[in-house]
Amino acid sequence: MTGSISLRPSGRFILAVKSILSKRISSCSIAIATLLFLTTHVSRAAGLESQLDSLINLEPVKGASWSILFADVESGHDIAAIDAERLLIPASVTKLWSTAAAFQTLGPDYRFSTKIVSGSGMDAQGGVSGAVKVICTGDPMFDRKYRKDIGKPALDKMADELYAKGLRSINGDLEIVVSRFKRSCGNGVWEMGDLREGFAPSVDGTGYNSNVCHIAIGPGMAEGLGADVIIDPPFAPVKVLNNVVTNSGADESWIEFNVTPCRDELEISGVMARGDDPQYIWFPIQEPAYYFGLALKDALARKGITVSGKVIVSRNSNGNGTVLLEFFSPPVTDIAAITNKDSDNYLAEYLLSASGYKEFGEGSPSSGLRVVQKIARQFGVHRDQVSLQDGSGLSRQNIVSARANVQLLIKIAKSEFANDFEASLSQSGVDGTVGGRLSTDGLLGRVRAKTGTMTNVSALAGYIGLDSGRKLAFAILCNNFRCSRNFVRNIQDNMVRAVYRAAN
Are 69 and 81 in contact by the 8 Å Cβ rule? The answer is yes
**In this predicted structure, what is the pLDDT of residue 24?**
45
Q: How confident is the model at residue 321 (pLDDT cuts 50, 70, 90)?
A: confident
Q: What is the mean pLDDT of residues 391-414?
A: 97
**348: enclosing H helix or E strand:** helix 345-360
Cα dihedral 331/135/292/165 (nearest 10): 90
Name the percent of the chain lying above pLDDT 70. Answer: 89
Per-residue model confidence as pLDDT tens digits over 177-188 = 999 899 888 766
What does the mean pLDDT of the chain come to? 88
Alpha carbon distance 431, 441 (integer Å)? 18
Burial 283-302, CB ≥16 within 10 A → b, else e = bbbbbbbbbbbbbbbbbbee
For 233-274, the pLDDT digits (tens) are 999 999 999 999 999 877 788 999 888 777 889 999 999 999
Name the band, by pLDDT with cuts 50, 70 and 90, for residue 135: very high
Give 25's pLDDT tier (boundaries 50, 70, 90): very low
CA–CA gap between residue 269 and residue 254 (Å, rounded): 8
Report pLDDT for 252.
86
Q: Does residue 346 carry a pLDDT above 90?
A: yes
Which tens digits make up the pLDDT trace of 269-300?
Answer: 999 999 899 999 888 999 999 999 999 999 99
Least confident residue range of 5-14, 53-62, 384-393: 5-14
pLDDT of 421: 98
Global pTM value: 0.87
Cα angle 383, 387, 388 (rounded to 5 degrees) comes to 140
